[in-house]
Structure 1
């Protein structure tokens, strides 16, 4: 049973008790009136006045009790209304807190996604260690991508396109660790397209930049091949002799010796 129901029940019991008290008082009045004849007029009047006073007092008590009951009911109604209002406010605040928690969780997820995206983008531009033709160096991802793309074109046999790709690479990355290898494949692409003079220039650039490069002996042999194609046997002989002296243990040196025996 709720507190409100208990309070109303108590009020009803109080009111019933007041009613019984009024009846008792009236009975007393009746008894007093029955014996009024035993007293003189003054005593009768006094008794009647006293009885009236008691009746009025009882009525006043009943009226006050009714007023108090009505006021208490109104107070209970107001209290119940306040309780319901507080419940509604609490439910609203609970809903707001839950929404705030969801918003915070979503914000944290977005921040994590943004941070991950930034890290991914940074990694795309972060230099990495690579190894080409026996050399290790660091290169930007774009630099590595462009070199491998140009080499893939060469390996497909599209030598004019490969020539263009390696020329662009050398211009775009003049300090690249790929430089000597790029010059070697550029020279070979030019040799394949019979652009012998440009091929000789790029092979010599490789030898000047990196005489100890793994491709250097083959570059020197390729210079001699270009000179032979240009009918410059004298220069070809000199190039082959220098190759044998500079790189005596290389396979290119052995090939140079064989060609020297056939060169007129």
Structure 2
């Protein structure tokens, strides 16, 4: 009896512990993983594809933006080069005209010296007739000296700004001088170089309108066309260039005008 009693007590304690902590029960056919894990491979694959497509679209969009930026840069550079080319063309035209003016002025002075020598020597043989254009020389020494002074400021001293009032003074003093068309042209050229287009235009127009027989008419028409171009007046520029090529087709100015006509078409 003494042995059986402790055994019964122990068995009762085990039974109570079993009821207090029941063993876990696993349902048949139910997976221990979450339900969403069964579809995760397909869902993950779709998300990866969408992400890859987004990356491709973003890369293409960035590439197009870069291409547009590069294209705009190239267009800006072409526009800048075109402007530089036109500027150089204007400068070259001015250099050619200035050289032509210098040659004509030298011819005038040489002719004046030759004429003075021939009038002093009454026994000299007559000068043969040539095809070169006649050079007008004034018999007024003061008039000639005043004109030469203004011209020398340009050709010798290169005092371009000081030459402007000198030519203006000459034209006020000798408005009907044989040098008047040349003086108007020189004054217009100096003002043109200073970008005083309105004042330069006035001088060139006076040559064209008041001295139709002057050899400066062609050069003045060319300058009027260039001024119109700088003022973005294409129609007026074409008018001056066409008038120049039709009335003075054999002149150097007409050749330059033809080039401008082709450029403006």
TM bracket (short chain)? 0.3 to 0.5
Bigger-Rg structure (1/2): 1
TM-score (norm 1): 0.48
TM-score (norm 2): 0.48
More helix by share: 1
